[in-house]
A and B are shown apart, each in its own frame.
Chain A
């Protein structure tokens, strides 16, 4: 962490500085161009500066599609502001496009007169052909409506690294840091956090540390030295509530939440998982926490992932499995087993576009009905849905707490957007975390494996190794109380109703629905999951125009808040925006006989604020 690596702060520049309240910037390039790293670093830097922010990473399922082609384009968008930020931004103020394919794919989102930085060295005939372009946009005036800055990123990076004697290929890998350096200059940001990050990331390879440092500083100095940019932007820190913050993505927040739950419960966390996009990062993250006694088991398949977690739960651990839609489908039968044997278990479904393999890296909310009903017979499972990346932390703890208290499997529905998107997260004090009491049965006196707690209907957690509690459980229907195999008709009906009543009883844990905005009026928007951001932004804008709108965001999807029916009746219209064909709206209509309308987007992308506003205006006229 040599301080000598830190360049003078941006304030030394002689250029005009304009103070603005927000900006949306998008880095895009080939999937081998390091756009995710570049975007993450920019995000980290603006977060440390104190801006509120939201991010939208958008990358292809292919690891390396042919270089320079349209399917290989990867992007990372950051919206940062001195005000509250709810979405990654509908459109982009500054676009950094590393090649023609990236330009073609991303230009439609750039605002008129927006800043457009392109790598001039990658606009040769072959590059244009790969992007299926017939003429060069840098020459055909098609970019006249933007502030275009063609920069020789490749040549300038190579020149900056000349003294290191790297081969051209290695030097070219650093050009994303050249671009990043330019953006730091443009938005008046210090390079220090990224310089430090490069040191810790490439510490073992000093030549890479030096190369990336040089490239970034060269980009910064290039802006400083050339007359290209006449203006730089300053976005003051946001007025976040006081406290200690870090930047967090949904997947990391889930991982930290489960570690916290395990610590609060005083039992080890066992994750059984099989790699699947976009859930794998939870496995990666948790595999690092062996100092917390976390056991991660990369199973042979999705079925072994959940069943090993059931085995661990049976043993007295906090059993967890993480997956996405296709994996969820494979776990279905085992979910039914967990319902039947009434063991605590948490299942995270990080939803992605489907059906089948679908859109592995794109977001969707179409597993709701699968989570609620996707099992044979009557197999109710509580379902929770975090609303923001930071909320994933709290929902991980809540799911664990409910699973243990009620002896049930609990499903968490996250999605690709929450999983990879990031936001500033206020780090909680340990005293703010809920208690998670665990009681292992030890008393053999009158022990019955299915004798229930009258308040929660939970059966005792009687773990192997406890003297005198030897008993058998299994997937065959059980007689209540004794747990013996039983096929009697009335016992079966009793058990089906009891399992349902147990899940219904969880409503006592569910806070009442409290609408944001107006508590009655013209329109209620009901959302769940990652649509929280765009709905909030749209609500604010539309209420500012005098419309009476409320917003209920459901974090508990089963059971639903007990006052939800009353709340729905207080508005003239009910709108349910979802990234599916209308799954929550179907539930609400069926359960509350309310004429709720769906608004559905199934494009693998989150709602934009303007789309929701347009819909609101369409309904309210």
Chain B
């Protein structure tokens, strides 16, 4: 029904007349462009999209999307979106957030949204810095980082966002990069297709306060040595000459050089449906180890976990089927009553 009457959208249909106030050169522009393109292709009526955000550079996102949008308060976007989604499961609700917004002040809402598996698509813009407040370290900044608030370097161990999401029992966890437009769009489509919570970390460059934070991963010469692209059902291979791979060694991973008797058949084949948490954790933590690549792609995609808002709706329907629609008069007269006669 809906698809028959659905207008054909183009990216332009999702642009607004508002002047964009991100710094020139900000990675957010690339993310905005990718999201606008993807929304046009999802086959969802435009009025069904809602973009919810918290506070920070990334959270200005709704103003630039011609959908319903709500720029809320710092860290609370997942909670507002949860209420919205429970009340209206038919809506396509997206959350735009940053490393400060989602992992610092909004950490609690983030983990509870993920464990409940509310059907929200979260875009985590990770630039490893506080941009809008002009350059303090964030919960993803590397230890020792010198920033405006840490002139002698931070003492904070950083969060690894995808590890955190996996730990919070997220059913869809992915990572992409602002400048990898094709990969980003592809990942967003996968997130959109996921029924439960979809958590996508997007590595994003802040060219003013943390320029080059992801240079190792984005710089053309170096990136193939530093990144492994995860594809479901494919072996984990990386390197400029695609000559390195990841192999299981006991309960750990190891990097191996292909050749000399080591073939693709020996490598770990990526399984985004892998039922054990340990599998996704192993992948998520490769980047902290010398010689290991950083994983990009879908780490986990579990489709079998029920969506929170569906469980709530089912419970309402079950009770109504059993007890019938509530009768207000009967409710008010409930319990023990007595009549006072004139």
Contact = CB atoms under 8 A, between A and B. Distances in A.
Tell whether A and B belong to one assembly: yes
Interface of A: 44, 47-50, 193, 237, 240-247, 256, 259-260, 263, 268, 270, 272, 289-293, 295, 297, 299-301, 303-304, 307-317, 319, 333-334, 336-337, 341, 427-428, 430, 463-476, 484-485
Nearest to A263: B328
B305 interface: no
B86 A297 contact: yes
Given A317-B87, A470-B47, A475-B71, A290 B319 contact: yes
B87 A474 contact: no
A290 B320 contact: yes
Most interface-central of B55, B84, B337, B339 (chain A CB within 10 A): B84
Contacts of A243: 339-340
Contact of B83 (A240, A289, A307, A469): A307
Given A243-B339, A307-B79, 13 more contacts: A48-B336, A240-B340, A244-B339, A270-B83, A297-B312, A299-B79, A300-B112, A311-B84, A314-B84, A316-B87, A463-B88, A470-B46, A473-B70
A193 B88 CA distance: 43
A319 B88 CA distance: 13
B1 interface: no
Nearest to B66: A470
B152 interface: no
B326 A259 contact: yes
Given A311-B80, A464-B50, A246 B86 contact: no
A430 B46 contact: no
Nearest to A44: B336
B340 A300 contact: no
Contact of A308 (B55, B79, B316): B79
A39 to B, nearest CB: 15
Contact of A472 (B62, B73, B312, B325): B62
Contact of B328 (A193, A259, A300): A259
Contact of A289 (B18, B331, B342): B331
A464 B109 CA distance: 22
A484 B18 contact: yes
19 contacts: A49-B338, A50-B338, A245-B339, A289-B331, A291-B319, A291-B324, A292-B326, A303-B76, A304-B108, A310-B80, A310-B83, A314-B80, A314-B84, A315-B84, A463-B88, A466-B47, A475-B71, A475-B72, A485-B63
Interface residues of B, number: 60
Given A50-B338, A50-B340, A301-B108, A467 B83 contact: no
Q: Which 10 A-B pairs have the closest CB atoms?
A: A474-B71, A311-B83, A308-B83, A292-B326, A304-B79, A311-B84, A290-B319, A315-B87, A472-B69, A311-B80
B62 A312 contact: no
B107 to A, nearest CB: 10
B337 A427 contact: yes
A304 B73 CA distance: 11
B83 A309 contact: yes
Nearest to B321: A291
Given A243-B340, A270-B86, A304-B82, A467 B71 contact: no
B82 A467 contact: no
Contacts of A312: 83-84, 86-87
A472 B63 contact: yes
A252 B336 CA distance: 14
B87 A311 contact: yes
B284 interface: no
Contact of B73 (A244, A247, A291, A334): A334
A464 B73 contact: no
B336 A246 contact: yes
B31 to A, nearest CB: 17
A475 B69 contact: no
A417 B298 CA distance: 54
Contacts of A476: 71
B221 interface: no
B252 interface: no
A601 to B, nearest CB: 33
Nearest to A429: B329
Contacts of A289: 326, 331
Contact of A333 (B65, B73, B83): B73
